[in-house]
Structure 1
């Protein structure tokens, strides 16, 4: 599995030519310049990585966004290859200036990153995202320890929900994961999930400070042996996303 990281500053005028009509419309409708740049870098990095793996020009990578609830063009992005199963799944994440893409063969992947030191209201966010057990454990920590602990737990939950393709349509409070100082694992599942695959879950750190996590469901070549745990169960191949995006068309 490849995990690639790029930056907001990697956006440049050559990247919009990679976008398909749906992506271009969403890009052009985005008001805030920083949000527009995050979307552009995420789309470009996804297309450049998948184009390399599929052996096609990045602008020709067949992608499809369909919301499973309303059918709108804003669901999880997937390869659209009619008549054959998609050989790769991928997941896009961004927070602050960091943009990441994970690509996995033979499994469903979810990636999440959170900017360290962000001005998140930990108490409010924790009440919405953590189970009662997780919330009690967080409140037992010193104030200085709470934000990094919360972000570690949150990235794990978000990565798992992305890998399952359900996102925040499922309450993260009902998905309980291990404590931030323990190897990452899912401890309990939301009751409404009828399929509860054992995910391969690993913690990551971007630029030495930003917490991230990647989750994979499935048993293909992108997933390591199920007898081990955490990062040892995911063969992560780092890829210079910034260099790939910044160098396109130049």
Structure 2
């Protein structure tokens, strides 16, 4: 089983049950933490989340013998959850947006072939390719419970990475230990105007499929 949930942080915070609201600490990360937990609860279809613990690597997981693994990612006002029962998973969601220092980040974190992939594109297309590569690499790092500072060494050997464009401006990358093939029913969306397009992207580096769009 592999399931993806994507939602708007503001909506999920407002509709989260009182118990979850009480567990969310105050501070700048309260909204994203609360929305991520509420989205995970909805993806699991439970009234309350099982107890969680944080491993030595900082990645949270369920404290019981549940086979379920999950990963949460935030970007701006959006949050994504990847839930699976076949080993550790990683996901990253990013809204395609301007970033002045993206060439410097690519120079520090991307491989030579990845930088060449960007350079071969028309200037107007390079920013989105930067974000495509970034999300794939971060999903790989998060699958192994690493940090963004390890992105320059991220390797997908033995892993399966897929990528999607959601509602035209969101990029979502998923990393699992085994191949997966997701259909429209595997995605749950909360707070978006319908219909929402979900396009599976061709992978310039790594495995993937090209061009299928769901609405």
TM-score (norm 1): 0.67
Task: Give the unaligned 5+ runs of structure 2.
Answer: 193-215
Task: Give the unaligned 5+ runs of structure 1.
Answer: 69-74, 177-185, 187-195, 225-231, 244-250
Do residues 108 (structure 1) and 67 (structure 2) align? no
* Distance (whole Å) between structure 1 residues aligned to residue 95 and residue 80 of structure 2: 12
* Distance (whole Å) between structure 1 residues aligned to residue 139 and residue 22 of structure 2: 26
Number of residue pairs aligned between Structure 1 and Structure 2:
189
Greater relative CO (CA pairs within 8 A, separation 6+): 1
Q: Does the C-alpha gap of structure 1 residues 14 and 110 become closer, same or farther in structure 2, counting only changes over 3 Å?
A: closer
Aligned to 1:240: 189
Deviations 1:64-86 (CA, angstroms, capped at 9, x unpaired): 12342xxxxxx1111111xx3x3
Aligned to 1:65: 54
Deviations 1:137-196 (CA, angstroms, capped at 9, x unpaired): 323333211111111111111111111222335x222335xxxxxxxxx3xxxxxxxxx5
* Distance (whole Å) between structure 2 residues aligned to residue 89 and residue 20 of structure 1: 24
Q: Does the C-alpha gap of structure 1 residues 148 and 125 become closer, same or farther in structure 2, counting only changes over 3 Å?
A: same
Structure 2 residue matching 1:214: 3-state secondary structure: strand
Deviations 1:208-248 (CA, angstroms, capped at 9, x unpaired): 22111101014xxxx54xxxxxxx4x5671113449xxxxx
Do residues 124 (structure 1) and 104 (structure 2) align? yes
Do residues 174 (structure 1) and 153 (structure 2) align? yes
1:147 pairs with 120, 127, 131, which one? 127
Alignment of 1:1-250 (within 5 A): 1-10=2-11, 11-12=13-14, 14-15=16-17, 17-18=19-20, 24=24, 27-28=25-26, 30-31=27-28, 35-50=29-44, 52=45, 57-58=47-48, 60-68=49-57, 75-81=58-64, 84=65, 86-119=66-99, 121-168=101-148, 171-175=150-154, 186=156, 198-218=158-178, 223-224=179-180, 232=181, 234=182, 237-242=186-191
* Distance (whole Å) between structure 2 residues aligned to residue 161 and residue 78 of structure 1: 16
Aligned to 2:212: none
